[in-house]
Amino acid sequence: MADIVVDGIRATYNIRGESAALLCPPHPLMGGSRFDVRLERIAAELTKRNVSVLRFDYQRPFRSGIGEVEDAKKCVAYLKDRHDKIAVIRYSFGSVVASNVAEYCDAAVYISPLPEINSIYFKDAEIPKLFIIATRDQFVSLEESVKLYEQASKPKEVVKVETDHFYFGKFDFIAKITADFIERQSF
């Protein structure tokens, strides 16, 4: 594991295999960073399965979501220069960011995706995708989450988790189902 800088973006890079996952942090104005506990658990599970992982922090100041998408694009480009297959994974605000770079990746995992936030909207990509939905989410209703899933192109899967937006008590579970999905995509 190494702390690196990708085009001005602070990141942590775990090199394990030929495939890689980009983990987008939650909202930076809500304390989101590459050290988010959900990201750390997912990263640990993926590296155990020989998938390289890049976690990053959005550059400051906050740029209404548009700049954060640009940060993610730079990280995807960095990984594409080094790996055969790329998955993009994240939760909440990060899911909206991830959806805007998914077209450059081979698979995506969206945990509690939002339809829109700040200046960005959830964007579909025709790649394999997994939606992980909290049934008691305080920020996006179950109905909105199911609608995002239903409107997404195939191939797609959904897992509903009996929890709230923060997934307390479910970190290892979401890490495992995320890694299982990525593994099924021949990563």
For the stretch 14-47, pLDDT in tens is: 999 999 999 998 887 778 889 999 999 999 999 9
- Tokens coding 71: 């940060």
Q: Does the structure show a pLDDT above 90 at 131?
A: yes
Residues 6+ apart with CB under 8 A from 17: 50, 51, 52, 187
Residue 120 maps to which CATH number?
3.40.50.1820
3-state helix, strand, coil in the chain (%, to 5): 35, 25, 40
Q: DSSP alpha helices (H): ranges in the chain?
A: 37-48, 66-80, 93-99, 142-151, 171-184
Q: How many domains does the chain have?
A: 1
User: Of the candidates 29, 19, 22, which has an alpha carbon nearest to the alpha carbon of residue 9?
Assistant: 22
Q: Does the structure show a pLDDT above 90 at 160?
A: yes
**pTM of the complete model:** 0.95
Q: Which of helix, strand or coil describes residue 125?
A: coil
* Residue 120 domain boundaries: 2-184
Mean pLDDT value across residues 3-8: 96
**Cα 15 from Cα 26, distance rounded (Å):** 22
Phi, psi of 141 (to 5 degrees): -65, 155
33-47, 52-66, 70-84 — which is least confidently predicted?
A: 52-66
Q: Using CA of residue 119, residue 123, residue 128, residue 129, what is the dihedral sign?
A: positive
Cis peptide upstream of residue 128 (ω within 30 degrees of 0): no
- The confidence band for 55, taking pLDDT boundaries of 50, 70 and 90, is very high
